[in-house]
Amino acid sequence: MLNIISLIILSILLSLAAAWAHYRLSSHTAKTRRLARLALVVIGGAFAWVMAFVYTGAQGLAQVLIFISAFGLVHVPAACVLQLKHWRGIPRQD
DSSP 25: G
Confidence category of residue 22, pLDDT binned at 50, 70, 90: very high
Residue type, 55: Y
Question: Cα 48 from chain centroid?
Answer: 10
Among residues of the chain, what percentage have pLDDT more than 90?
Answer: 56
pLDDT one-digit tens code per residue, 41-75:
999 999 999 999 888 877 888 899 999 999 999 99
19-40: string of b/e by CB count within 10 Å (b at 16+)? ebbbebbebbeeeeeeebbeeb
Residue type, 80: C
Confidence category of residue 94, pLDDT binned at 50, 70, 90: low
Nearest residue to 53 (alpha-carbon basis) of 70, 73, 39: 70
Stretch 23-36: mean pLDDT, rounded?
84
Q: With a threshold of 0.75, does the pTM exceed it?
A: yes
DSSP 24: H
